[in-house]
Amino acid sequence: MLKRWRLIDSGVGTAQYNMALDEALLRNFTKGSLPILRVYRWECSLSFGRFSDVRSSVDLKILQEKRLSHVRRMTGGGVLVHGGDFSYTLVLPRESLKDVGVKKSYKYLCGFLLELYKRLGLNAAFAHDLKLQSSKSNICMASYEPYDIIIDGKKMGGNAQRYTKDLLFQHGTIPITLNSEAFKDLFLEESGLGAAAALDKMQKAITPEQLTNMLLEAFKLFFDAVLFPDTINRSEKRSAYELLINKYSQEGWNRDAKHDEA
């Protein structure tokens, strides 16, 4: 595993900007670049998986009435709620995990999250290791995948990957708080929010700044990594802006996954 990483802390962003910047970092990654760890937070919003059938799961009329921001991710998975959560992004060459393999890379890359929860005094494990049966839903918190993280029988956040020819991209979220009231009456099927895990539900009072520091320490320990703080460069900033305007602010993409990549 790579030891030297570029760290980008982009703070709080809109749903559309957060996903535009994620894709910009992937698009601008060149051979020889340091792998990237990005940390960030969200305004109150929803994000939809790349192939989510939003109209069957979300009442779009109520979504509009509540004026809730929403965006479609470039990764798979289901509908996620945001606002009280903390997120991370990883961008790295596929060849750096050639000894791990595609199927096991997800579990391996999520290992630093288990280390984080251990530091928080929480007993976290993968659903697969707990022998929990997988279940499918278009809403993230109402489903179980083998490498979802489970704490006290409850699902903790969500993580998703995307592969290109040469790169591996992964992002995920850690709920600090989960304001179910903000998303009340929004879903057309079981949302799973009532049973979902969040740090405040587990009596773990922590600020985003404290969580940032703990996550970075867990990351450095688990991967034996050195982090080099950085900001986005001119090319990444330009790409993020173009993607924000032409893709992630467009309802054709966000609601119907229709976008002209050209």
CATH of residue 25: 3.30.930.10
Q: Is residue 19 part of a domain?
A: yes
CA distance 233 to 54: 34
pTM: 0.94
Burial status of residue 81 (CB atoms within 10 A of its CB: 0-12, 13-18, 19 or more): buried
**257-261 contacts at long range (C-beta below 8 A, 24 or more positions apart):** 257/50, 257/51, 257/52, 257/72
| Whole-number Cα distances in Å, 81 to 30, 58, 145, 191, 259 | 32, 12, 18, 10, 23
Q: Is residue 261 part of a domain?
A: no
Domain count, the chain: 1
Q: Is residue 262 part of a domain?
A: no
Q: Is residue 52 part of a domain?
A: yes
- 191 is in which domain, residue-wise? 4-256
Q: Is residue 146 part of a domain?
A: yes
| Max Cα distance, the chain (Å) | 50
CA distance 45 to 99: 37
Amino acid at residue number 24: A
Q: Give pLDDT, residue 184.
A: 84
Q: Give pLDDT, residue 262.
A: 41
Q: Is residue 30 part of a domain?
A: yes
pLDDT tens-digit profile, the chain (262 residues): 679 999 999 999 999 999 999 999 999 999 999 999 999 999 999 999 999 889 989 999 999 999 999 999 999 988 999 999 999 999 999 998 888 876 688 889 999 999 999 999 999 998 888 887 777 777 887 777 888 899 988 889 989 999 999 999 999 999 999 888 888 889 988 888 888 888 999 999 999 999 999 999 999 999 999 999 999 999 999 999 999 999 999 999 999 888 765 4
Task: Give 172's contacts (C-beta < 8 A, 6+ positions apart).
Answer: 87, 88, 110, 113, 157, 158, 159, 160
Q: Is residue 233 part of a domain?
A: yes
Q: Is residue 171 part of a domain?
A: yes
Q: Give pLDDT, residue 213.
A: 96
Residue found by looking up tokens 């798979």 in the block: 76
CB-based contact 58:28 (threshold 8 Å): no
Q: Give pLDDT, residue 147.
A: 82
